[in-house]
Amino acid sequence: MKFDFSVLISNPLINVGVVSWAVAQLLKTLIHLLKHHEFKKERLAGAGGMPSSHSALTCSVLLMSYLVYGFDSPTFAMAFILAMIVMYDATGVRWAAGLHAKAINDIVDYLGDDSAHDKKMLDAMIPELNESLGHRVIEVICGALLGFTIALLGHFCF
């Protein structure tokens, strides 16, 4: 039995979600390039940064589910709950995890300052942790606005 992949591209919720995520990741990469004058391919798929791709994705699906199925639909209800969880997590739990990672990285750097040998040993035992896990509120708001914009464009222009 063959799977018909046209089903995936015919679903407006999937379409706006994927496009919103991709645009947000490209914008993160471009913003990093302009701000730091360096291209980091990790920004193309990495967490954290401006705008929030998680917020863009969930908010585009939220608005598109409203536009296609209406406020009373179970699809809209699930999209709404998911968007709230994702945005709360991005500004709360994942933001705090990023702060913890920064503190641990600073401690490892401090402990390894005395000698290069100690630093190499610490780096081997404790790899540098990713500090860019969560988002500031403005990054989540910008991601949400990006997602809403892409959903509106997708619904009314295509």
**Do 51 and 105 fall within a single domain?**
no
Residue 65 lies in domain: 6-88+136-157
Is the predicted pLDDT of residue 142 greater than 60, yes or no? yes
CA 85 to mean position of chain CA atoms: 13
In a domain, 82, yes or no: yes
**Do 66 and 120 fall within a single domain?**
no
In a domain, 1, yes or no: no
- Enter the tokens of residue 147: 């997602």
pLDDT in tens, 69-105: 999 999 999 999 999 999 988 887 766 666 667 777 6
pLDDT in tens, 112-139: 665 555 556 666 666 665 655 567 889 9
Instruction: For residue 34, give Cα distances in angstroms to 30, 37, 47, 54.
Output: 6, 5, 18, 22
Are 52 and 135 in contact by the 8 Å Cβ rule? The answer is yes
> Which residues are CB-neighbours of 12 under 8 A, at least 6 positions away?
64, 68, 154, 155
At 71 the three-state DSSP class reads: coil
Question: Number of folded domains in the chain?
Answer: 2
**Do 63 and 127 fall within a single domain?**
no
pLDDT in tens, 4-44: 777 667 899 999 999 999 999 999 999 989 988 888 887 78
